[in-house]
Chains A and B, each alone.
Chain A
Amino acid sequence: MKKLIAFNKIEFTLSISLLLSACGGGGSSSVTSNTIPVVIDSGPLPITNPTRNILYTTVTVCKPGTTNCQTIDHIQVDSGSIGLRIINSAAITNLGLQVMQVNNLPVSECITFGIGYTWGSIVYADLYWGNQFVKNTPINVIAGSTAAVPALCSDFAIPPLENTVASFSANGIIGINPVLYDHESTVFRSESSGYGYYTCNGNDCNYITLPNNQQVINPISGFPVGYNNGYIIKLPAVNANYATILVGELILGLNSESNNQIPANAIIVYSNPVFGVVNTIYQDIDYKSIFDSGSNEYYFTDNTIPKCEGELYCPINPLNLNAQVHSYTPPLNITTTPFTIKGLDGIPNTAAVLPYIGSYAQDIFLWGLPFFMGKNVYIALDKSAVSGQSITPFAGYSSYTDK
């Protein structure tokens, strides 16, 4: 198995290196024990379904304890959700992963990401990400359930159902929100919410609750000490209005190695431990907020900015804006954070990287992927210990460094 895994990693590292050299990209991307390459490109279906501003990585899943493995690229890196979820395929089916059983019935899961929802089976796999792994952990195979989507799932979710690579814009998603378990929130253990786990006998599905230690986990929480307390997403700045590709790194661990130190000048705000959000004040209104690599734009409420394509902000001239990020709980650490919104004039459809894109959203402020460009973004997991920090979870940022 080690040879197979090693080969897969070398293959992915090599592809990133080739990508860099082909694009004349910014610097080298070395893989160490806690460094994982990430990339923004046109996605898994660049011709038929090109994507914009989605951060991807590669994972390998194996049948537990075997060398029967599959490497999957274009897995979205999402700091706003929890757990590994992969779109079903023949290659995944051929792994023969064991489906979780409760009362001798297979377990499936309904998940909403806020917008869109998925339905699929819960299986056990060995998960490899970068040079780290979690053995025999529950993961979600989207569209992997033999049962039809129950009404309790679809009636409580904002459409669409995203059960294909095209509709999901990725081969899967790896959720690394500060929360450790995907249904740690008690709201997600309530039948009245629709989301959660089900046992199904044919298409007859019943909502069930699972204890934390049986749920899909934030995979980083299962990594060794030193690499399991948080992470850094490092994306270089885009020195233009768009790019076709942007290569960065995800560094595992915080303040545990020379390459994951939080600098003294970093902005740090403390997150809610149950749902991982911070707050942002914009135009005197205080919103729940998140540093969200899973949002492809800035999303916020501003009725004064002209819009195009329905919800997209399209100011005539570039808008340099400010908002105040602060902790969910004291100390608030209120910090003015600038950002820029531009229109789409002159942006080709092939542009996969858009650093100045934003859209209208009500009752929330999302620091989406454009915010990450040119920054190191730090996320500490709930219940973790980070040297030099007395409170977790937290989120933070500083200017991008490639060191």
Chain B
Amino acid sequence: MIKHQWRIMVILFIFSPLAAWATLGQDENSITADATALNAKVLVRTQSNYKLYDLILSNQDIQIHEYFDPNSDTVFAITWQGKHIPNIHQLLGEYFTKLNNIAKNKQGAQRRAMTTQQNQIYSTFSGTIENYYGKVVLTQKMPIDSTLESIQ
């Protein structure tokens, strides 16, 4: 359940038909674009150093978390967990191409799990059938006092 120290707001978005790429590295408005594209409801939780947007897909197959830093007006991390991988092109935007380039240079066959940290992008993915997890963090955009482990 939601931790007691978090201030809770539930925002029902009036979705615009104009969806755009994407959220990671973008401003707070881009989260609306993600929610629209993914047909998701949004739950917002505010903590001392960032806001956490939970995107809840209509079929409830996946939970997506978007970490937003109000001080820099930047989404600095995205995580997901669920029965399949979400539209990560939508979620990662320009970082989707960067992630492709990083993954191409990985050595060896990693079929089920991979973690990389290059060019201020930390990523970790794992998955078996109906059990997929992903986390992409812009490490230089993380608020002070945030850690990779705290981003779940």
What residues make up the interface of A, taking CB atoms closer than 8 Å to B?
Answer: 51-52, 54, 76, 78, 80-81, 112-116, 151, 154-160, 167-170, 177, 179, 185, 187-188, 190, 192-195, 274-277, 288, 290, 292, 294-296, 299, 303, 310-311, 359-364, 366, 368
Checking B61, B109, B124 against A361 with a beta-carbon cut-off of 8 angstroms, the contacting residue is B124
> Of B7-15, B45-53, B86-94, which stretch is located at the interface?
B86-94
The interface-forming segment of B66-74, B97-105, B138-146 is B97-105
Interface of A is mostly: loop
- Known: A159-B103, A177-B129, A277-B128; 19 extra A-B contacts, CB below 8 A, are A76-B109, A81-B111, A151-B89, A155-B88, A155-B96, A156-B85, A156-B86, A160-B106, A190-B59, A194-B84, A277-B131, A288-B128, A296-B109, A299-B113, A310-B116, A311-B116, A359-B115, A361-B113, A363-B126
Contacts of B88 in A (CB 8 A): 155-158
Instruction: State the Cβ distance, B58 to closest chain A Cβ, in Å.
Output: 9
B87 and A156 form a contact (CB under 8 A):
yes
A170 partner residues in chain B, CB cutoff 8 A:
109
Given A115-B114, A292-B112, A362 contacting B126 (CB threshold 8 A):
yes
Q: Is B133 an interface residue (CB 8 A)?
A: yes
Q: A296 touching B114 by the CB < 8 A rule?
A: no
Q: How far is the CB of A142 from chain B (nearest CB, A)?
A: 13
The answer to whether B132 and A114 have CB atoms under 8 Å apart is: yes
Report chain A residues within 8 Å CB of B65.
Answer: none
Task: Closest A residue to B125 by CB, please name it.
Answer: A158
B17: min CB distance to chain A, Å: 19
Closest 7 CB pairs of A and B: A114-B127, A361-B113, A169-B109, A275-B129, A311-B115, A363-B133, A155-B89
Q: Is the CB of B115 within 8 A of A363?
A: no
- Tell whether, in the assembled complex, residue A275 and residue B130 are in contact, meaning their CB atoms are under 8 Å apart: yes
A170-B129 Cα distance, complex, nearest whole Å = 21
CB distance from B91 to the nearest CB of A (A): 10
Q: Which of A51, A194, A274 contacts B109 (CB 8 A)?
A: A51
Known pairs A154-B89, A155-B89; A366 contacts B113 (CB<8 A): yes
A155-B88, A193-B84 given; A296·B130 CB < 8 A: no
Interface size on B, residues (CB 8 A): 40
State which of A54, A160, A274, A361 has its C-beta within 8 Å of the C-beta of B115: A361
Alpha-carbon distance A277/B127, docked complex (angstroms): 11
A112 touching B113 in the complex, CB below 8 Å, given contacts A156-B85, A159-B104, A160-B106: no
**In the complex, A277 Cα to B133 Cα: how many Å?**
15
B30 within 8 A of A: no
Q: Across the interface, do A193 and B89 meet the contact criterion of CB distance under 8 Å?
A: no
Q: List 5 A-B contacts (CB under 8 A).
A: A52-B108, A167-B104, A190-B61, A290-B112, A290-B128
Residues of B within 8 A of A113 (CB): 111-112, 127
Q: Are B81 and A294 in contact (CB-based, < 8 A)?
A: no
Q: When chains A and B are docked, how far (Å) is the Cα of A81 from the Cα of B149? A: 29
Q: Which residue of chain A has the shortest Cβ distance to B109 in the bound complex?
A: A169
A187 to B85: give the CA distance in the assembly, Å: 10
- Which of B99, B103, B113, B126 is most buried by chain A, counting CB atoms within 10 A of its CB? B113
State whether A115 touches B99 (Cβ < 8 A).
no
Could you say which residues of chain B place their CB within 8 Å of the CB of A78?
111
Residue B119 interfacial (CB < 8 Å): no
Q: Which residue of A lies closest to B58 (CB)?
A: A192
A370 to B99, CA, bound (A): 28
Bound together, the chains give a CA A359 to CA B100 distance in angstroms of 21
* Neighbouring B residues of A360 by C-beta, 8 Å: 115, 124
B114, closest chain A residue (CB) = A115
Cross-chain contact A275 with B128 (CB below 8 angstroms): yes
Q: Are B89 and A187 in contact (CB under 8 A)?
A: no
Q: What residue in chain B is nearest A158 (Cβ atoms)?
A: B125
Counting CB contacts under 8 A, is B117 at the interface? yes
Instruction: Given A185-B129, A364-B133, answer yes or no on A115-B85 (Cβ-Cβ < 8 Å).
Output: no
CB pair B128–A114 under 8 Å, yes or no, is yes
* Residue numbers in A under 8 Å from B86 (CB-CB): 156
Alpha-carbon distance between A193 and B62 when the two chains are bound, in angstroms = 10
Q: Is the CB of A187 within 8 A of B112?
A: no
Q: Is B83 an interface residue (CB 8 A)?
A: yes
Minimum C-beta distance from A203 to chain B (A): 18
